[in-house]
Amino acid sequence: MAQCADNPLSTVLTEDDLLDFQKHCKGRVRDYPAVKTLFLFLRQVVSENKSCRKTLIADAADQTILNNKRRTTHNSAYCKARKRLDERDVKTLSQLSGQRLDDASPESWRWHERRVVLVDGSTLSMPDSPANQAVYPQPSTQKKALVFRF
């Protein structure tokens, strides 16, 4: 993220989307406008360490790398700004970005000509029929004599 001088959200959301999001946010804006707060919050969510302070320290490091004015790493103002984010507006942006990513996905990313919308790690068992074996061959680590029949 530090290598991206522009807002990293801009890869899926337009400037107008983010300005519209900023307009919907109410309350006092001083150190943490809504878009900056959203960016920091997303960074916090995806980070290994979920602490507000660690997020602000990482942001301060990024600002230093970009030669920007470094913000404070005290988390009081950020936590208050985060509480001001409207859940509906965040949800709208999430849905919009997801739709744009889906629309931009090439056909070659489809699995058996189908759009994959959710993967949960579940397993599936089916018989090792010759037709299934042709499409889903056994792993090379599996002994050839081992087959599963219903």
Residue pair 12/39 in contact (Cβ under 8 Å)? The answer is: no
pLDDT of residue 3: 43
For the record, the structure tokens of 66 come out as 């970009």
pTM of the model: 0.62
Residue pair 53/75 in contact (Cβ under 8 Å)? The answer is: yes
Name the amino acid, one letter, at 8. P
Residue pair 132/126 in contact (Cβ under 8 Å)? The answer is: yes
Query: pLDDT of 54-78, one tens digit each?
Result: 999 999 988 888 888 877 888 899 9
Number of CB atoms found within 10 A of residue 81's CB: 23
Q: Evaluate the CA torsion angle 83, 87, 88, 91 in order and state its sign.
A: positive
